[in-house]
Structure 1
């Protein structure tokens, strides 16, 4: 039966070819690309819409007339004369003068690897267009993740140490991310790079639920799909400067245009920021959270023939920041509540530093073969992360630490996709190969004078712990995805992916070389019903998969290896576009059944003094939740935005070892899954309007809430929820834009990570403090 399904997915698309000609091009206004423009063949129901870059492609009869329609612009009717048609639309003054409240734009995204309306996708998807990215001041994942229900993103320890939780599926330290991080169609497997500085973007999408069939390896909880602006055939430039408290200087630039008109185009963009920090180390009397980061990206796009294009992308990142500035108790009692900010302070005697260097390259070829497009994507990624700093987190020079976390990745993907806009079937087929090397080197030193009579420092640091191992993943995969329009209102989608991960470890510390293979078939099914013109109902099922791996060795809390994690995901939802598009309400509910959910543990190995970190599994877990996302255009100058999510995740079967003087194994069945906020919400007001013909205003204010979090599987350490208030105001006149912005304006105290050290076999409890109030200004110039 399985072979029959695979054959149907592979051969069904080739029965759907059409003999019509394909016409493609771009649609823009005097301000830039227009997305969501209706493009249809006159006298037929054959049509499409432009994507977020203003591009479209449609198959029509030879000699047909295309009609371009967009609210507020004059409708154009243009006879076809060739395979390329670029259009510039003009504003319709008579419509603009009418006192009519317009609905939200029909946002077009690529959540399923092709341009389509977000409101027609049978998935939970949140999309930020280029305009929204600029208006909201989005410059990294953290600046938008908390506006999405049941998504939580935090950082700690050092630059590149990122944690994301989606619907009860968490990122575990030194493990695989549960969400695919995709830039221009290429998945970056290094979780160190997830919170890199984002700039010069066309689109950001977050799609929840398992996405292996479309986004690849380890997309067990979803995908973050980021699309950068492409090189263009016209010259455009932008430069931006900003300054914020903590002496934070930020600048971005981009430049694009033709090197050879109509044949070869370039785009160069970059970002630089440098700041002293805002927190305070009370022992050193200085800010430990400094940052300096430089990122540069270059792109070349060549039109090799009428049906072949090539795009070469390269990116370089060089970053340095503070590290391991954990806050510890000031009372003398090593154990405190996670919310006890009066008795927490950063007081380590060592000034921590971390670095992150990364290079990335991708070569992509697109071949237009009529009704089929073939894409070849070859990429290379290398990241090197290092940190050094305190380990006892007290004013005494007792312990120090150093760690290297390095990755090197080679990817190759071939993808075959349908392009027939007339057909009832859309499909993707592909094959994928990846080789990933992950090296982790940890070291610690101690002044042993603190541990033996006469209990006084010797001034000499001696090695306490060491770990050095490399895990190598060789992955091959095949995938297919099919959309079948059963009727005008009913669409069936089916996807299938097979992953085979060969995992090898070179363990220098233990002098071992274990090896194993994980394989997983990941089906996905969706059913979408257009119940009315304004309502879409959908249901889907998907199998999620996150590969296993090897730890440094056996301890009382985990074994030398951990198993692959799988999930069965069920979701139902509805998407409503009401009141002429002025009111959008999307609702969804989900249930996730886990097998071998992966958790993280830190342990002090009393036998040899090593401080070790590793991952382990609990056999059975579950997560059930609800999400609501709404937009209301109250007037032409005021939008009301809101979202709310509930995520109840718990371990249904599992044990864990707690060291309280003895290695006690406890039953954690029925406990809440660690690191998962119990709920989250976002409420915002946005305004955008013209003051005069050449001057416009945009502004937004947003209140984000994160609910209660249990930090370990025993559920003893728990922190209360917190709320953050952010705002941004901007004025654009001619080619200049000035923005004033602020985050955490109420200066709320909160934490993003907590170690209850009694549970983890260590010393004092530790907390990673969230950023205090931050505010600044920026000016941008486009030319």
Structure 2
């Protein structure tokens, strides 16, 4: 332990030294632009609300990626997957079905069917479950992605970071916009927004989005595309001015999606290619069962804001989410007349397998915020969330006639939080934030037919999560900072283990302890923006998900994470603008030995996985883009080309199945004349192929014993090139 602490502090000292040198250089460059700190917010065009109040991004002592409406349009960002792919240091896997996803932030990962490691806030309300993360975003006013533990701000499940999204608000003027699009894969889209003020006090905004696609991935056995989908979305927002100091806001949302799922390929990648998923290993799916999924969500939110005198504001927000998903697949992903597992025949194959999910949640937060722009700025509040989550694991023929179990999970989370920022001098700000979260969880495992209770478990996971920052701002164009924070993610309950199973019935909470040092600068009258940050994270009880006849979590006691991130933006003149960012994150397993899940002759019964890469956490993520804006007579033209690079991705903790590094290029050109617009776009322009997820025979006993002619690995390929055109009209 002493050695770990010494290494941790040594790494912190090195980071601070490097960043201090960078800070002195940046300060010497920006000294000509010295100005009052109080004017920073007014001068900076990038305003964020990550710390509970509107402030300049350059002044915030955190790493934040910000996407304005102009950024979203220029990059053609239409899903949360694309926002994350555009952000170095964060990585997402979205596979199996529309709701299942894994997000890694600086090596801190989300696991399947459990709590996320990143908080996702929409219009000030935290989404209760990762299933809701992939609902289609539309009419977006802005997105902020915070990296590093944010538990002091957003509570449990923000151990890796947070996503803060705001949607378009009602305004005082009539108007709106509409667009229709078409693309390859017989893809059709339609989006619209109408702003409708009823009176000076009441304003409405209606937004909708529709997408219908035949798909891009072909099943060679069924001879048809199997990843097609239809997405329908509606949202109504209202803003009511109750008085000069009080405002009431409402939001109603609905989404419905249906389409293909689990379009998974099969092959002996481990044996034939050493686990490398590239080239000839990337075969199309050829199973004889077409996976399907459908889901419906509706949600309601109310927010009340009341100014109290000149110095305080009271904010209450509350909401309800209701969600249902149906999902059916096969588990062999092959088309043999008789599938075998360890020699036992299954004439109908391993199908159908169903995992329906139901979610109901009630969320409420009360916050008191100081409005005084003086040297002390603070807020404090209370948070409550009730989550009811039911998941059925119907493994069809693998149950051998037994009834399917349903996990009924109930969670009551309360949070108490406060944050204060104080200007020690006109140039130095100190911030202290503290939050206490208690998550009381209960889970009953019941029979879906008999209602019999097979298991009943309960546990309370709680944690104090502090965050301390020190920021030095000698000018309005430069900030150097050091931030230390703790985050945690609640533990949970595995399926009940049998006598010979490797897992425990319960698994522990995750904890992250991180120190970050960074600098941010604006040069050349704001035409150039630079940022550099380094971090060290102590990651305890990483919840590693594996499939051992069911999805289970095996806790990894220690993961060591450190890295460096940098970004730059510059207006080059003549309408050209360049931007780029890179992140290097080294996330490696510390001490960890575990029983071999698939022991074969000559293999050890106990595996030492120290030094392995953590799953789904690439070392390098790099993004860069070049844009141009100009005019040709009455037509405004905008164009952009961008490239994204992801280094090797290991899909499991044994580091056998992996995708080598890959790069993709996106492009867009837009034409606007008056209220009319036309854009042509392409994603993955050069049609590069890679695997987006995989399960390996050395981690899953079922795949090791799968026959005939096994063993096999299972993996999902990307969709390949997409392109299309969109026409829009503003009114």
Give the match for residue 587 of structure 1.
Answer: 532
Give the match for residue 242 of structure 2.
Answer: 304
Out of 750-759 and 329-338, give the one that drifted further: 329-338
Pair 1:664 & 2:605 matched: yes
State how far apart, in whole Å, the 2-side matches of 1:587 and 1:661 are: 46
Please tell me whether the aligned partners of residues 444 and 465 of structure 1 are also in contact (alpha carbons under 8 angstroms). no
Deviation per residue, 1:279-333 (Å, 9 max, x gap): 1101100001001010100011111111111111010010012111111117996
Cα root mean square deviation, aligned: 2.0
Q: 1:264 aligns with which of 174, 191, 202?
A: 202
Correspondence 1:450-599 to 2 at 5 A: 463=401, 466-509=404-447, 511-554=454-497, 556-599=501-544
Pair 1:164 & 2:103 matched: yes
Give the match for residue 189 of structure 1.
Answer: 128
State how far apart, in whole Å, the 2-side matches of 1:724 and 1:466 are: 42
Q: 2:674 aligns with which of 717, 725, 734?
A: 734
Deviation of 1:197 (Å): 1.4
Larger radius of gyration: 1
Give the match for residue 696 of structure 1.
Answer: 636
Deviation per residue, 1:596-649 (Å, 9 max, x gap): 11110101xxxxxxx211112111111111101111211141111111111110
Deviation of 1:758 (Å): 2.6
Pair 1:433 & 2:381 matched: no
Please tell me whether the aligned partners of residues 358 and 391 of structure 2 are also in contact (alpha carbons under 8 angstroms). yes
The 3 A distance-change label for structure 1 pair 47 and 677 is closer
Correspondence 1:14-413 to 2 at 5 A: 49=41, 106-259=45-198, 261-329=199-267, 337-343=275-281, 344-370=283-309, 371-396=311-336, 397-400=348-351, 401-413=353-365
The 3 A distance-change label for structure 1 pair 716 and 357 is same
Please tell me whether the aligned partners of residues 160 and 191 of structure 1 are also in contact (alpha carbons under 8 angstroms). yes
Please tell me whether the aligned partners of residues 235 and 254 of structure 2 are also in contact (alpha carbons under 8 angstroms). yes
Give the match for residue 571 of structure 2.
Answer: 633
Please tell me whether the aligned partners of residues 527 and 539 of structure 1 are also in contact (alpha carbons under 8 angstroms). yes
Deviation per residue, 1:585-605 (Å, 9 max, x gap): 1000000001211110101xx
Deviation of 1:670 (Å): 2.2
The 3 A distance-change label for structure 1 pair 331 and 262 is closer
Deviation of 1:339 (Å): 1.8
Q: 2:557 aligns with which of 591, 616, 619?
A: 619
The 3 A distance-change label for structure 1 pair 338 and 691 is same
State how far apart, in whole Å, the 1-side matches of 2:84 and 2:630 are: 26
Give the match for residue 724 of structure 2.
Answer: 776
Deviation of 1:202 (Å): 1.1
The 3 A distance-change label for structure 1 pair 463 and 399 is farther
* Structure 2 unmatched runs, 5+: 1-35, 337-347, 448-452, 704-711
Please tell me whether the aligned partners of residues 329 and 345 of structure 1 are also in contact (alpha carbons under 8 angstroms). no
State how far apart, in whole Å, the 1-side matches of 2:430 and 2:117 are: 26
Out of 560-569 and 187-196, give the one that drifted further: 187-196
Correspondence 1:714-729 to 2 at 5 A: 714-729=654-669
Pair 1:674 & 2:608 matched: no
State how far apart, in whole Å, the 2-side matches of 1:558 and 1:358 are: 33
Deviation of 1:664 (Å): 2.8
Pair 1:655 & 2:588 matched: no
Deviation of 1:545 (Å): 0.6
Deviation of 1:174 (Å): 0.6
Give the match for residue 344 of structure 2.
Answer: none
Q: What secondary structure sits across from 2:396 in the alignment?
A: strand
Give the match for residue 709 of structure 2.
Answer: none
Out of 715-724 and 771-780, give the one that drifted further: 715-724
Give the match for residue 420 of structure 1.
Answer: 372
Deviation per residue, 1:94-139 (Å, 9 max, x gap): xxxxxxxxxxx62112121211111111100111111111222211
Deviation of 1:470 (Å): 1.4
TM-score (structure 2 length as normaliser) = 0.88
Deviation of 1:657 (Å): 2.8
State how far apart, in whole Å, the 2-side matches of 1:383 and 1:325 are: 23
Deviation of 1:342 (Å): 1.5
Deviation per residue, 1:436-484 (Å, 9 max, x gap): 11211111223x9xxxxxxxxxxxx964783311111111110001111
* Structure 1 unmatched runs, 5+: 1-43, 51-69, 71-104, 449-460, 604-610
State how far apart, in whole Å, the 2-side matches of 1:487 and 1:354 are: 57
The 3 A distance-change label for structure 1 pair 476 and 391 is same
Please tell me whether the aligned partners of residues 140 and 165 of structure 2 are also in contact (alpha carbons under 8 angstroms). yes
Count matched residues. Answer: 664
Q: What secondary structure sits across from 2:526 in the alignment?
A: coil
The 3 A distance-change label for structure 1 pair 754 and 119 is same
Q: What secondary structure sits across from 2:242 in the alignment?
A: strand
